[in-house]
Amino acid sequence: MEIIILPTAEEASEVAARLVARQVRENPRSVVGLATGSTPCRLYQSLARKHTSEGLDFSGVTSFNLDEYVGLAPEHPASYHRFMEENLFCHVNIPRERIHIPDGLAGDIPAHCAAYEQAILEAGGIDLQILGLGSDGHLGFNEPGSSLASRTRIKTLTERTRSDNARFFTAGEQVPHHVITMGLGTIMESRMCLLLAFGKGKADAVAATVEGPVTANVPGSLLQFHPRTKVLLDAEAASALARTDYYQWVYQNKPVWQSDL
Ligand code: GLP
């Protein structure tokens, strides 16, 4: 894991956007894994700006989203279909037919999940997976206790995640209990992962993910086994880490040949 700590979420998101842009420029037919939640919003805004002002071209890109709520139609305001449409897809030029998001209304969920895995395989696997981190350490919607080898499947949310995500639903509306999410095994097959976490509320989950033992109780910690993961943090999210000085020294003193930003 490479730990990159910047003072603000804006700066960390800009670095993330440069990494995604570099991936797309180097391989215009890149397959990218996309995340939802408040964390990647600034990254998506920056990608939209790069598309408009720098001509960053997504016309060859294929995308796979991590997850979706079961029972929500694509047009529901809290659905991840709608989130992606509003925050990224309507601002860039990823061809519609190459956008993939789990279908929360799928009639046969196991068959839909198997087809989603197959589609990732047929696309050649995910080159770069963007990830946020739940306050309980979840990745996608892989809650604590998820099998470390899991594939795309239905999961039941914890009450903590339902309450964390209640802000995206209108007052009185129920946050669904069930979701479809890529598995931890699916995420681990991505060639590169970019994990973003911002704010004090993520500090404990970040410390457990980066410096704790690898355990299904903290799904993010599995990334310690991933050969190419960059963790982009603001100062608050990094505040419970023990080796902050070391991570900062490493980042500020990268040999030129190793610098990728
Ligand atoms: C949600 C999403 C995750 C996201 C996480 C953090 O439940 N399923 O993919 O990373 O929670 O959300 P936020 O970025 O809003 O803190």
In a domain, 104, yes or no: yes
Q: Output the domain CATH number for residue 172.
A: 3.40.50.1360
Question: Quick check: is 11 catalytic?
Answer: no
Q: Is the Cβ atom of 44 under 6 angstroms away from ligand 1?
A: no
CB 127, CB 192: distance < 8 Å: yes
Residue 261 located in a structural domain: no
Domain count, the chain: 1
**Active-site residue, selected from the candidate residues 51, 81, 100, 138:** 138
Which residue among 101, 138, 202, 223 has the greatest number of ligand 1 atoms within 8 angstroms of its CB, and so is best to mutate?
138
> How many residues in total does the chain contain?
261
Label residues 189-227 b or e (16+ Cβ within 10 Å = b): bbbbbbbbbbbeebbbbbbbbbebeeebebbbbbbeebe
- Tens of pLDDT, residue by residue over 32-55, are 999 999 999 999 999 999 999 999
Catalytic pick from 14, 51, 67, 164? 67
Does residue 96 lie in a domain region? yes
Query: What is the arithmetic mean of pLDDT over 67-74?
Result: 97
Question: Can you spell out the DSSP letters for the chain?
Answer: -EEEEESSHHHHHHHHHHHHHHHHHH-TT-EEEE--SSTTHHHHHHHHHHHHHH----TT-EEEESEEETT--TTSTTSHHHHHIIIIITTS---GGGEE---TT-SSHHHHHHHHHHHHHHTT--SEEEE---TTS-BTTB-TT--TT--SEEEE--HHHHHHHGGGS-TTPPPPSEEEE--HHHHHTSSEEEEEE-SGGGHHHHHHHHHS--BTTBGGGGGGG-SSEEEEEETTTTTT-S-HHHHHHHHHT--GGG---
pLDDT digits (tens, 9 = 90+) for 199-225: 999 999 999 999 999 999 999 999 999
**136 included as an active-site residue:** yes
Prediction pTM value: 0.96
The pLDDT-based confidence of 126 (bands split at 50, 70, 90) is: very high
* Structural domain harbouring 237: 2-254
Q: Let me know if residue 260 belongs to a domain.
A: no
Mean pLDDT value of segment 232-240: 98
63 part of a folded domain: yes
Whether the pLDDT of residue 148 is over 70: the answer is yes
| Cβ of residue 209 lying under 6 Å from some atom of ligand 1 | no
pLDDT reported for residue 45: 98
Residue 65 near ligand 1, beta carbon < 6 Å: no
Confidence class of residue 186 from pLDDT cuts 50, 70 and 90?
very high
Q: What is the pLDDT of residues 14-36, one digit of tens each?
A: 999 999 999 999 999 999 999 99
How many angstroms is it from 256 CA to the middle of ligand 1? 34
Q: Decide if 259 is inside a domain.
A: no
Query: How far is ligand 1, taken at its centre, from the CA of residue 257, in Å?
Result: 34
Answer whether residue 86 is part of any domain. yes
Active site residue 143: yes
Q: What spacing in Å lies between the alpha carbon of 36 and ligand 1's midpoint?
A: 6
